[in-house]
Amino acid sequence: MEVLQLLIGGIATGCIYGLVALGFVLIYKATEGVNFAQGDMMMFGAFLALGFVNSGHMGLPFLPGVLLAAIVMGGVGYGIDRVVVRQLFGQPQFSLVILTIALGFVLRFVAGTIWGYTPVVLETPYSGRSLSLGGVIIGYEDIITILVTGVLTLLLWAFFAKTRLGLAAQAASQNQMAAYIVGVPVQRLNSIIWGLSGAVATIAGVLYASKGAIDPNIGLLGIKAFAAAVIGGFGSLPGALLGGILIGVVEPLAARYLPSGISQMSPYVIMLVVLVTRPNGLFSQIQAKKV
Amino acid sequence: MSVLEVRNVEAFYGAIMALRGVTLDVEEGEIVTILGANGAGKTTLMKTVSGLMDPEKGQITFDGKRIDHTDPDRIVRMGLAHVPEGREVFPYLTVEENLRMGAYARKGRDFSDDIELCYGYFPILKERRNQPAGTLSGGQQQMLAIGRGLMARPRLMLLDEPSLGLSPLLTQEIFGIIKRLNAEQGVTMLLVEQNAHVALATAHKGFVLEMGRIVMAGSSEMLRNSPDIQEFYLGRKEESQRGQKRWKRRKTWR
Ligand SMILES: Nc1ncnc2c1ncn2[C@@H]1O[C@H](COP(=O)(O)OP(=O)(O)OP(=O)(O)O)[C@@H](O)[C@H]1O
Ligand SMILES: [Mg+2]
C-alpha cells in the first residue's frame, strides 16, 4: 500500500519533470541548442497563471486564466527566439548556453520584482482534495497532473505526426538544409517551437504550483528535468517524458527506503549510469545516415 | 528573356572567395550544364542561386525578378527547386513523406497526382513508399531527392551532381529521366556534373567553371569538340603530332 502511494505521487512529480524535459528536447531537436532557461520559463509561466487567476490579482476563472498564461508564455518564447536567440545564428554553441543562463536570471529577477520572493500559493479549484481508493489516498492534483500530461503528450504527438507544420518541424530537425530548399521557413519554425516549449513549460508550472507554494527559485527544478532529458536520449520526446517519470518515481522511493542523501543524488546517479552504459540515452533513435 | 540571369556574382566563405564574378544565362526549356574540377565553385554557385547563400556582389534574376538576398523558401515558391549535392533526404521520414515535403511550398493539400507522377518516373520509390528514407540505397536516395525537387512543380531545377556515387548504368538511367522531365514536363534544368561525357550528351549548352570563374561557354556540340575540354574533361589522349609533351600543354584559356 505504502509503495503504491509513493509510486503514484512519484509518477505525478515525474510528469512535471518530464514536461520540462520535453521543452528542452523540443528546442534541442529544432535548433541543436540547449535552453538552460527552461526551468525558469516554467517558473514564469506558473507566476503568470497566478497573476491571472488569484483573487488578490486579476481573479479570472481558473481554466481561462491558465490558458491565457500559456498563450502569453508562448508569445514570450516566440519573442525570445525572434529577438534574441536568432541574433546568435552562426555563433558558437557556447554563446547560446551563456545567453539562456542569463535569460534565466532575468526571468527570476522579473518574477521576484512583480510577485515578490516569499512563497505564494496558486488558487486552484482542486488542490488539497483527495480520493481514497482501497486504502490508497491520491490527491486530486496528482490525478490531474497525470491526466493533463497524458493529454498534452497526445496533442504534441498529433501535432508532429499529423499536421503539415509538425511534419515540417520533424523534417527541419532531421536535415535543416533540405528543409530550407523545399520551402520551410526554418527560422520562423524555430520561433514557433520556442513558443510551444514556453506554453508546455507554463502547463508544467501550473501543475507544479497546484502541489505547493511557488517562489522565483523553483526554476532550479530545471536541472533535474535536464537530467531526465539526458536519460531519455535528449532527442526523443517520449524518452524525455519517461526519463522524468523514472526520476520522479525513484526519488521518493529512495528517500523512504535508502539512507538519507541518496534520494537527492538519485537523478544525477541515474543520469551518470545511463551515460556510461547507454551513451545515447535509453530511448534514442538509431543514427543511420547513409553517406 | 532568360529564365535565369546571373551577373558578376561574387561569393565568399569567410575570407575564401569561392565565386569571382560569374555571369551566365539559362533560357526557357534548356538543359544547361556546368563543368568544373573539384572545388571550382559549382556547388557554391547552386547555393547562391537557390538562396542558401547570399552573394557579396552581383545580381541574380529569375523570371525577371531579383532573387539575390532572398530567403530560399521564397525562391522555391517562385518555382525554382534545388536538388542538392549528396542525397540530402529527411532520413527518418518515409519516402512518401519526403515527397510530400517537396510540395511544402505549394498551395493546396492534395498532391497525390504529383506523387503518382514521381512514382511513374521512379517506380522503385513506389515499392518503398513507407520505408524511412535513410534506409534506402544511395541511388534510391538520389532518385528520391530528384523526385522531391519535382514535387515543387518547378520551372527551373538545379541539379547538383545527380550521378554522385552511382553506377554507370544508373547514371545513364538518371540522365535519361532528366531528359524526359525536360521534354515531357517542360522543366528547365541547370545541371552540375563531373561526368562530362554524359553531361554534354544530355545538355544543350554548357559552361566551364574554374577557380570561381566561367572560363568557357558554348553549345554542347562546340564544347565536345574543343581540344581543351577533350583533354581535361573528357580524358581523351592527345595525338602528339608535334612531339609536344603532355605536361607542357597549357589550358588555352589561362
Ligand atoms: N563551408 C565552406 N567553408 C569554407 N570553404 C568552403 C566551404 N564550402 C566550400 N568551400 C570552398 O569553396 C570552394 C568551392 O567549393 P564548392 O563546394 O563550390 O566546389 P565544387 O565545385 O562544388 O566542388 P565538387 O566538385 O568537389 O563538389 C572550394 O575551394 C571549397 O574549399
Ligand atoms: Mg560540389
Residue B209 lies in a domain: yes
Ligand 1 pocket mutation pick from B13, B22, B50 by most atoms within 8 angstroms of CB = B13
* Closest CB from A181, A184, A289 relative to B91: A289
pLDDT in tens, B153-187: 999 999 999 988 788 888 898 999 999 999 999 99
Residue of A31, A2, A51, A11 whose CA lies nearest to A257: A2
Question: In Å, how far are A47, A53, A54, A125, A255 from A66, measured between CA atoms?
Answer: 10, 7, 11, 12, 32
Residue of B15, B17, B26 whose CA lies nearest to B60: B26
> Would you state the pLDDT for residue B243?
44
**Number of structural domains, chain B?**
1
Residue with cell 509538425: A166
> Would you state the pLDDT for residue B226?
86
Which residues in chain A are closer than 8 Å to B101, comparing Cβ atoms? Answer: 167-168, 171, 179, 182, 184
Is residue B47 in contact with ligand 1, taking CB distance under 6 Å? no
Residue B221 lies in a domain: yes
> Would you state the pLDDT for residue A207?
96
User: What are B236's strand-pairing partners?
Assistant: none
Q: How many angstroms away from the CA of B66 is the closest CA of chain A?
A: 18
For residues B30 and B38, what is the distance between their CA atoms, to the nearest angstrom?
A: 25
pLDDT in tens, A150-183: 999 999 999 998 899 999 999 999 999 999 999 9
Q: Is A221 on the interface with B (CB under 8 A)?
A: no
Residue B252 lies in a domain: no
> Would you state the pLDDT for residue A260?
85
For residues A179 and B232, what is the distance between their CA atoms, to the nearest angstrom?
A: 36
> Would you state the pLDDT for residue A285?
53
Most B-contacting residue of A182, A186, A285, A291 (CB-CB within 10 A), to test interface:
A182
Which residues in chain B are closer than 8 Å to A29, comparing Cβ atoms? Answer: none
> Would you state the pLDDT for residue B237?
57
For residues B50 and B73, what is the distance between their CA atoms, to the nearest angstrom?
A: 9
> Would you state the pLDDT for residue B84?
94
Q: Is A285 on the interface with B (CB under 8 A)?
A: yes
Where in the sequence is the domain holding B88, given as residue range(s)?
A: 2-232
For residues B199 and B206, what is the distance between their CA atoms, to the nearest angstrom?
A: 9
Name the residue in chain B with its Cα closest to that of A175: B90
CA of B19 relative to ligand 1 center, distance in Å: 10
Residue B171 lies in a domain: yes
For residues A125 and B1, what is the distance between their CA atoms, to the nearest angstrom?
A: 70
For residues B61 and B105, what is the distance between their CA atoms, to the nearest angstrom?
A: 20
CA dihedral A263, A269, A273, A274 (to 10 degrees): 80
Percentage above 90 pLDDT, chain B: 75
CA dihedral A65, A71, A74, A75 (to 10 degrees): -110
What class is the A2-122+131-277 domain?
mainly alpha
pLDDT in tens, A12-59: 999 999 999 999 999 998 888 899 999 999 999 999 999 999 998 989
Give burial (CB, 10 Å; 0-12/13-18/19+) of B66: exposed
> Would you state the pLDDT for residue B246?
47
For residues A259 and A255, what is the distance between their CA atoms, to the nearest angstrom?
A: 7
> Following DSSP, what letter does each residue of B109-146 receive, concatenated?
S--HHHHHHHHHH-HHHHHTTTSBGGGS-HHHHHHHHH
Mean pLDDT for chain B?
89
> Would you state the pLDDT for residue B153?
92
Which residues of chain A fall short of a pLDDT of 70? Answer: 283-291
ipTM higher than the 0.90 cut:
no
Which residues of chain B fall short of a pLDDT of 50? Answer: 240-248, 254
Domain boundaries of chain A, sorted by first residue: 2-122+131-277
CATH assignment at residue B144: 3.40.50.300
Q: Do A290 and B100 touch (CB under 8 A)?
A: no
> Would you state the pLDDT for residue B245?
47
